[in-house]
Structure 1
Amino acid sequence: MSSNTKQSGNSDEVELIIGNSNSNFSGVTSTMLQVLSEQQKLINLRVMGKHHLSDESLNISFWDVVKMCRKPLSDGRFRIFHARRVDEMIQALLLKYVFGAKIKMIFSSAAQRKRAGFTKWLTNRMDAVLAMCKASASYLHKAPDAIIYHGIKTDMYTPPENKEAAWQSLKLLPATAQQGKYGIAILGRVRKQKGVHLFVESCIKVLEKHPDYTAVVVGAFRSGDEELVESLKVKIEEAGLSHRIIFAGEQNFADIPNIFRSLSLVVALSDNEGFGLTILEAMSSGSAVLASEAGAWPEVVEEGEQGYVVPTKNLPAVVEKMDLLLSDPEKLVQMGISGRKRVLEHYTVEREANELIAFYRTLM
């Protein structure tokens, strides 16, 4: 454990409690778990809820938190309770005002939508509010106490020595597919809100001009999205591109970094996002990016340097930029190099963990 883990008090005392109330693996869960891996090197913490924890010894129950937090830390400081969801704010308020827990409550918000009145009421009762980017800050009803951008594990998402070789060695496509020299992809839930139809329809329009590329849709779809997927497959077949635009389905989570590093271009076209780690993961993996104006993406991507950002739900804009990007494979390589550099400078999970803990210290 780092030498700056404890600045005062008993080194065995828990200083940070993290909410983990949702059993579904969501983007909030993913970002929490990534930064948790670094935070636990810097501060003694516990997680209230065992969902998706690789180390269940970090789990602590609500009632154990009640018992532990009846008194402050031995040096008089209060513990931090970090909530990322509405029900976690409710848990924090119950701990503090019903059971008398000596805690400071933080709510961090990545969502880009106007809040309901009850959510505003809860937020007003937090000791501090964080935003994850300028866009999410703009949707809060009052200015956040700080903006702390998400980071990613850059030792997990790494670029290959050679993109073409990495793509050729990737065992993702069916035998009927044409591997091509380079791969481009959209990753995530296969649904309209994620802009999958924009990706497929753009590929139909531009891939005939760019025979070296194969396009892949990576992700699962639910029963309600079957009609969309089938309609897109029909369009692909009618265009004679069934061997070059592939639905690869859901992949093992452990395989995703290897998929990212093999891609020359990663496309993300959501109508809206909370933050959107996909683009950071792609950039860290040395891939050029094409993103919609959702989440933090307009703040992350420097236009023409790591890729391009286009308006949401705008097929002509996607087609134009995709065509431009695929026209210059060497430029894609340089964009990938620039993306990796930008992530290392601004968007590492280590930086996020350190900024969060520095903020906690100001409240404790």
Structure 2
Amino acid sequence: MAAIVTEAVPARSIDTDVEVVAPNFKRRLSGVTSTIVQLIPIQARSLGIATLGPGLPPALPSIGWWQLGGLLRRPRGRPFRIWHARRNVEMIAGVLLRDVLRAPLKLVFTSAAQRNHKPFTKWLIRRMDAVIATNPSSGAFLEVPHTVIMHGVDLEKFHPRRGPEDDFAASGLPGKRAIGCFGRIRHQKGTDLFVEAMIALLPQFPEWTAIVTGRVTVEHQAFARELERRVAEAGLTQRIFFLGEVPDIKLWYRRISLYVAPSRNEGFGLTPLEAMASGSPVVASDAGAYADLIVDGETGRVVPANDGKALEGAIRTYFADPGLLEAHRANALADVRKRFPLQREAEAIERVYEGLWAKGERTG
């Protein structure tokens, strides 16, 4: 997941500039936060959109908490504002603003979860004016009308190698090719499945090096230490590297030749798109939306979640066949550029907004 780092921009005027509010009520970086960070700059080209909340880059157009009172007034040029929530707490805030404080708002919710929602969440979702599902699987758990809009990837930020610094050799690590597994290190993400596959395969394929990046939170430190212990016990500390959080993950996507997404459970999962846009095929579990993102046997391989042997076997096919690896690298790049540009996602979301505004204008 990538963050945008540029200079701060002035806060938007609630009266003249804001038609859509995209709240982010979580300080820590997450997949939802990454979606907001990547989408808002594109949406801001055609919409008066602003974020609200902590943990976001200062370059994003935003409103401050002190401006919330302005939401009680009708926006200039629109029958109402749109409050686009992506978490329960943000839906709760929207319902309070609209139904208790009588703010002229319509509520939109994006759901990525692939599970039966709890009763309170279902209650909140029924109170939304429009609902978006990030993939057909998450939509199957919704009991209300919804629009499926798949996430996209920023093809300007995630791109194939362009210079010597993008080559794996520039990393200074041993080996000729790298395989990567990026994201938070925890059981849910299947990091242990990746490590076990590498312990089994790397002794047979000496040209390959494995890279693991990502944050380890306090509650998962014992899990991470156990992985490092297994690597040391296997004598592979110079073949499997734990880099922690890296300053620029986009660079590491360009340096690897194969990406692995072994999650046991996932909401959507952006990393395969980021990898394919950077020129890598992907071996992934069937968690989240991975099976919708990867064309199995053409842009990568999809295996059952929590099946370590299947994961190992799929990776082995690429290690053993450089020609297949290169063919699928080209396929992955072409497919992601065709099906998953971020601009397409932004345009589809804007059509949902415009549909609500059109109804409001006809009835207002």
Match of 1:134?
Answer: 136
Matching of residue 24 in structure 1 with residue 19 in structure 2: no
Matching of residue 207 in structure 1 with residue 223 in structure 2: no
State the one-letter code of the partner of 2:216.
F
Shift of the 165–69 alpha-carbon distance from structure 1 to 2, 3 Å rule, reads closer
State the one-letter code of the partner of 1:239.
A
Runs of 5+ unmatched residues, structure 2:
1-14, 358-364
Match of 1:312?
Answer: 305
How many residue pairs match? The answer is 343
Shift of the 318–162 alpha-carbon distance from structure 1 to 2, 3 Å rule, reads farther
Q: 1:292 aligns with which of 267, 281, 285?
A: 285
TM-score under structure 2 length normalisation? 0.89
Q: CA deviation at 1:58?
A: 1.8
TM-score under structure 1 length normalisation? 0.89
Q: CA deviation at 1:243?
A: 1.3
For residues 297-322 of structure 1, give each alpha carbon's deviation from its aligned partner in whole angstroms, at most 9, with x where no partner exists. Answer: 00110011111011111111011111
Q: Is the 8 A contact 1:106 1:128 kept in 2?
A: yes
Aligned-partner SS, 2:167:
helix
Q: 2:73 aligns with which of 70, 74, 91?
A: 70
Q: 1:332 aligns with which of 300, 306, 325?
A: 325
Aligned-partner SS, 2:346:
helix
Shift of the 103–287 alpha-carbon distance from structure 1 to 2, 3 Å rule, reads same
Match of 1:303?
Answer: 296
Mapped partners of 2:144, 2:325: distance in 1: 38
Q: 1:228 aligns with which of 219, 223, 230?
A: 223
Match of 2:240?
Answer: 245
Q: CA deviation at 1:246?
A: 1.5
Q: Is the 8 A contact 1:268 1:292 kept in 2?
A: yes
Q: CA deviation at 1:53?
A: 2.9
Mapped partners of 1:94, 1:217: distance in 2: 42
Q: CA deviation at 1:211?
A: 1.2
Aligned-partner SS, 1:235:
helix
RMSD: 2.0
Shift of the 120–166 alpha-carbon distance from structure 1 to 2, 3 Å rule, reads same
Match of 1:353?
Answer: 346
State the one-letter code of the partner of 1:203.
M
Q: Is the 8 A contact 2:284 2:290 kept in 1?
A: yes
Q: Percent of aligned pairs with the same residue? A: 38
Match of 1:195?
Answer: 190
Match of 1:147?
Answer: 148
Shift of the 159–81 alpha-carbon distance from structure 1 to 2, 3 Å rule, reads same
Mapped partners of 2:108, 2:132: distance in 1: 7
Mapped partners of 1:23, 1:165: distance in 2: 31
Q: CA deviation at 1:102?
A: 1.1
Match of 2:11?
Answer: none
Matching of residue 90 in structure 1 with residue 92 in structure 2: yes
Match of 2:4?
Answer: none
Aligned-partner SS, 1:18:
strand
Match of 1:344?
Answer: 337
Mapped partners of 2:163, 2:204: distance in 1: 23
Mapped partners of 1:327, 1:133: distance in 2: 33
Shift of the 48–162 alpha-carbon distance from structure 1 to 2, 3 Å rule, reads closer
Mapped partners of 1:217, 1:280: distance in 2: 18
State the one-letter code of the partner of 2:253.
F
Mapped partners of 1:259, 1:40: distance in 2: 29
Runs of 5+ unmatched residues, structure 1:
1-10, 174-178
Match of 1:15?
Answer: 19
Match of 1:80?
Answer: 82
Match of 2:48?
Answer: 44
Q: Is the 8 A contact 2:126 2:144 kept in 1?
A: no
Mapped partners of 1:312, 1:323: distance in 2: 17
State the one-letter code of the partner of 1:323.
R
The 4+ residue runs of structure 1 with deviation greater than 6 A are 162-165
